[in-house]
Amino acid sequence: MPKVALTTLGCKVNQFETETMEGLFKRAGYTVVPFEARADVYVINTCSVTSLGDRKSRQIIRRAHRENERAVIAVCGCYAQVAPEEIKAIEGVRVVLGTKERAQIVDYVECALREDGILDGVGDIMQAHTFEDIPLYDSPQRTRAFLKIEDGCENFCSYCIIPYARGPVKSRALSHIRAEAEKLVRAGFHEIVLTGIHLGAYGRDLGGEVTLADACREVLSVAGLRRLRLGSLESLELSPELFALIREDERFCAHLHLPLQAGSDAVLRAMNRHYDTAEFARLIEGVRREVPGIAISTDIIVGFPGETEEMFAESLAFVARLGFSRMHVFPYSRRTGTPAARMTDQVPEPVKKERVHRMQALAREKTTAFEQSFLGETLRVLFETRVDGVTDGLTDNYIRVYVADDLPSGTLAAVRLDRLYRDGVWGSVVRVEK
């Protein structure tokens, strides 16, 4: 049987899409091998959020060609969508697909195995208005599964290439979401994470009568599901219906990832974000009032063009006041094709690096404070892995908990949180749930 190797750069949505393509190859009779192995076909699912992602994609393509010069190299994903000519110029590339047509990737590859030349399946993503619904035919062995229910984004933040790579909002049908959730639960997954490029916009293209809350209800209605978690959301898109579901169903994780991006109003305006700091703060206060104890994590970009030291100090102070449970901190990356890349007041790299360090130090401080606030309490933990006699898993509000007990993956237990430990806390099992 022919051998195929797949690899992913970028976000959880990309990872999910790679898993669906892996399933398509397995159904077609291919043997999936590690990407480092010699294969007949290499599939690279690229990311283009930053210029670093583009560079890594090119490096991986060249590495695959060195491993087997006769192999068919198929490149898909965001970088392939926005820069197909760059991809086609790299030696060894035989298939370029972008962010649609992935359901036909096996057909493209098999055509490339028979014929010479480069097959280009990249089309105008702005004309794609239907969700590319590829079933997950194969289930990787993990406790947590990602379920993509939305694609596309129409926010056009000034720093972001993704709307040009993914096109308009496209939502998965509720019946298909439920069918996939049922399949994942039957396959042994205990937690489902709903993901999308602009998850909070789910249903917008379906006439506005279907919302993210409806998608959550569909998944929560699946018998045997133990947990539901949401991927990244825009704060402006939270609804009373979502809050009610989180409060009323203990399976719905009390954890929201709400990207702030900057704590300075001037920077937010330059980013073309659709809120200011006062509005964001009110929204966070409302979330905590609706769901006490909820974990709120965020993304922060530092060193955006025009960000002065005073603006950065405003961001530090604002972030410190909000007290996020976790923060993902990124230096601004100049992305060709976006308005921000054309701004003249770019921040020097050494300055960006220094600001990243300061914001990351604050992030560690706030994560520690959040975890400390739960010491002595008993929370439910879904355990995932066991290494060197220690089993670890996550609370529903995303605290990693370690215990000395030998618990199988997928065990749900009530655990008392005793002390800080590694990147989370050490706990004692109080009760294992059936």
The per-residue pLDDT for 139 is 59
Rg of the chain (C-alpha set): 22
Which of 253, 276, 309 is the last residue in one of the domains? 253
Return the percentage of the chain with pLDDT > 70, whole number.
99
Per the structure block, which two tokens stand in for 302? Answer: 């530092």
Residue indicated by tokens 């770019």: 346
Average pLDDT score over residue span 340-351: 96
The per-residue pLDDT for 50 is 81
Rounded to whole angstroms, the Cα distance separating 333 from 10 reads: 14
Q: What is the pLDDT of residues 72-110, one digit of tens each?
A: 999 999 999 999 999 999 999 999 998 988 889 999 999
In this model, does residue 52 exceed pLDDT 90? no
Q: What is the pLDDT of residues 133-188, one digit of tens each?
A: 777 766 555 788 999 999 999 999 999 999 999 999 999 999 999 999 999 999 88
Domain co-membership, 423 together with 410 = yes
Domain co-membership, 64 together with 110 = yes
Rounded to whole angstroms, the Cα distance separating 296 from 254 reads: 9
State how far the alpha carbon of 186 is from the alpha carbons of 182, 191, 253, in Å: 6, 12, 21
Where residue 382 sits, what CATH number does that domain have? Answer: 2.40.50.140
Identify the band that residue 265 occupies on the pLDDT scale cut at 50, 70 and 90. Answer: very high
Rounded to whole angstroms, the Cα distance separating 256 from 250 reads: 15
Where residue 114 sits, what CATH number does that domain have? Answer: 3.40.50.12160
Q: Are 149 and 202 in contact (CB under 8 A)?
A: yes
Domain co-membership, 321 together with 226 = no
**Containing H/E element for 46?**
strand 41-46
Average pLDDT score over residue span 372-378: 98
In this model, does residue 207 exceed pLDDT 90? no
Domain co-membership, 246 together with 265 = no
The per-residue pLDDT for 339 is 96
Domain co-membership, 136 together with 243 = yes
In this model, does residue 11 exceed pLDDT 90? no
The per-residue pLDDT for 143 is 84
The per-residue pLDDT for 96 is 96
Measured between its terminal Cα atoms, the distance across the chain in Å is 42
State how far the alpha carbon of 219 is from the alpha carbons of 152, 181, 230, in Å: 21, 6, 11
Domain co-membership, 323 together with 365 = yes
Identify the band that residue 68 occupies on the pLDDT scale cut at 50, 70 and 90. Answer: very high
Domain co-membership, 421 together with 351 = no
Domain co-membership, 32 together with 103 = yes
Which of 123, 154, 176 is the last residue in one of the domains? 123
- Measured in whole angstroms, the distance separating CA 406 from the mean position of its chain's CA atoms is 30
Average pLDDT score over residue span 4-21: 91
Structural domain for 92, as ranges: 3-123
CB atoms within 10 A of CB 270: 21
State how far the alpha carbon of 358 is from the alpha carbons of 61, 147, 274, 306, 351, in Å: 35, 35, 26, 18, 11
Which of 211, 238, 253 is the last residue in one of the domains? 253
The per-residue pLDDT for 138 is 63
Number of folded domains that form the chain? 4
Residue indicated by tokens 């959301």: 233
Question: Of 66, 72, 68, 61, which Cα lies nearest the Cα of 9?
Answer: 61
The pTM of the full predicted model, rounded to 2 decimals, is: 0.90
Domain co-membership, 64 together with 180 = no
Q: Compute the Cα dihedral for 133, 135, 141, 145 and give only its sign.
A: positive
The per-residue pLDDT for 261 is 97
Domain co-membership, 270 together with 366 = yes
If DSSP codes are grouped into helix, strand and coil, which group holds residue 310? helix
Instruction: Identify any residues that bridge with 72 across adjacent strands, giving them in sequence order.
Output: 41
Cα torsion through 31, 36, 42, 44, rounded to 10 = 120
Where residue 171 sits, what CATH number does that domain have? Answer: 3.30.750.210
Q: Are 245 and 256 in contact (CB under 8 A)?
A: no
Q: Considering the chain, what is the average pLDDT of its residues?
A: 93
Domain co-membership, 200 together with 260 = no
Where residue 294 sits, what CATH number does that domain have? Answer: 3.30.750.200
Task: Please provide residue 339's backbone torsions phi and psi, each rounded to the nearest 5 degrees.
Answer: -60, -40
Domain co-membership, 208 together with 170 = yes
Burial annotation 379-396 (CB, 10 A radius, 16+ → b, else e):
bbbbbbebeeeebbbbbb
| More confident: 235 or 65 | 65
Instruction: Give 217-262 as a DSSP string.
Output: HHHHTSTT--EEEE-B--GGG--HHHHHHHHH-TTB-SEEE---B-
